[in-house]
């Protein structure tokens, strides 16, 4: 078995380097829209009383948003997108809990009002007799 000397071919290392560069950049595009949408959902839930009615969900959403921003900074776009989705889910769950709590509160207030009206009607009927 003999080894023949082959001259250096610069195209092979360049091709390999180009392939590595392209594969390293296959993370896709920055998920700016997803992170922005998650931030908007989080901020809206926060304004609506998320810390009061859904503190756990708000904390999770906040943590996931921070992680998504960090992943975006490190150019891990797929991870950032997934974390932004998780933040959006937590913020939406917080919003649903807020809606449920405020609806329950309004229902209790209506029940009290109806009870007061019934009592007033009963008092008026007794006075008319």
**Nearest residue to 90 (alpha-carbon basis) of 58, 120, 43:** 58
pLDDT at 30: 95
Number of domains in the chain: 1
* Burial degree of 46 (CB within 10 A; 0-12, 13-18, 19+): middle
In a domain, 121, yes or no: no
More reliable by pLDDT, 127 or 30:
30
What CATH number should be reported for the domain holding residue 33? Answer: 1.20.1270
For residue 27, pLDDT over 80 is answered with no
In a domain, 67, yes or no: yes
In a domain, 122, yes or no: no
For the four alpha carbons of 107, 112, 115 and 117, in that order, the dihedral sign comes to: negative
pLDDT at 80: 97
pLDDT at 122: 83
In a domain, 5, yes or no: no
pTM (two decimals): 0.69
Count the Cβ atoms, other than its own, within 10 Å of residue 5. Answer: 4
In a domain, 32, yes or no: yes
In a domain, 83, yes or no: yes
More reliable by pLDDT, 21 or 74:
74
Give Cα 89 distance to the centre of its chain: 5
Would you say 45 and 98 are in contact if contact means Cβ atoms under 8 Å apart? yes
What is the extent of the structural domain holding 82? 28-103
Tens of pLDDT, residues 88-128: 999 999 999 999 999 999 999 999 999 988 888 888 888 78
In a domain, 7, yes or no: no
For residue 86, pLDDT over 70 is answered with yes
In a domain, 125, yes or no: no
């Amino acid at each position: 078995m003999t080894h023949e000397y082959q001259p250096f071919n610069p195209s092979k290392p360049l091709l390999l380097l180009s392939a590595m560069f392209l594969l390293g950049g296959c993370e896709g595009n920055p998920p700016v829209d997803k992170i922005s949408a998650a931030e908007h959902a989080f901020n809206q839930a926060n304004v609506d009383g998320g810390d009061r009615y859904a503190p756990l969900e708000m904390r999770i959403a906040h943590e996931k948003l921070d992680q998504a921003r960090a992943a975006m900074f490190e150019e891990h776009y797929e991870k950032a997108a997934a974390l932004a989705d998780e933040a959006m889910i937590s913020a939406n769950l917080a919003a649903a809990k807020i809606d449920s709590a405020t609806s329950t509160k309004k229902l209790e207030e209506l029940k009290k009002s109806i009870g007061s009206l019934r009592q007033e009607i009963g008092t008026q009927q007794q006075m008319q007799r």
